[in-house]
Homo-oligomer: A and B are copies of this chain.
Amino acid sequence: MTHHGARHGSSGGGRDLIGLQAMDVETMRRLLRSSWAMANDWRGARGKPPQPDLAGRTIANLFFENSTRTRVSFTIAAQRLGANVVDLSSAGSSVAKGETLVDTVRTIEAMGVDALVVRHASSGAAALAASTADIPVLNAGDGSHEHPTQGLLDSLTVAEAHARTDAFDLSGLRLAIVGDVAHSRVARSDIAAWTALGASVVCVGPPTLAPRTLEALGVEVRHDLDAVLPEVDGLQALRVQFERAASLSSARDYAAAFQINPARLARMKKSAVVMHPGPMNRGLEIAGDAAEAVDGPRGVVLRQVENGVYMRMAALRWCLGQD
Contact = CB atoms under 8 A, between A and B. Distances in A.
Copies of this chain: 3
A187 to B, nearest CB: 18
A305 interface: yes
Contact of A111 (B84, B99, B305): B305
Contacts of A279: 94, 97-99, 103-104, 107
B50 A46 contact: no
Nearest to A46: B11
Given A55-B49, A94-B68, A111 B278 contact: no
A223 interface: no
Contacts of A58: 76, 79
Contacts of A88: 68, 72
A49 B73 CA distance: 24
Given A100-B282, A110-B302, A281-B98, A55 B46 contact: no
Given A44-B10, A46-B114, A306-B112, A99 B56 contact: no
Contact of A103 (B50, B55, B60, B282): B282
A160 to B, nearest CB: 14
A47 B42 contact: no
Interface string A256-291: 000000000000000000000011111000000000
A172 interface: no
B56 A49 contact: yes
Contact of A107 (B76, B91, B278): B278
Nearest to A284: B98
Interface of A: 9-11, 42, 44, 46-50, 54-58, 60, 66-69, 72-73, 75-76, 79-80, 84, 86, 88-89, 91-94, 96-100, 103-104, 106-114, 242, 278-282, 294, 302-303, 305-306, 308-309
Q: Which 6 A-B pairs have the closest CB atoms?
A: A66-B92, A99-B279, A94-B279, A110-B305, A110-B302, A9-B44
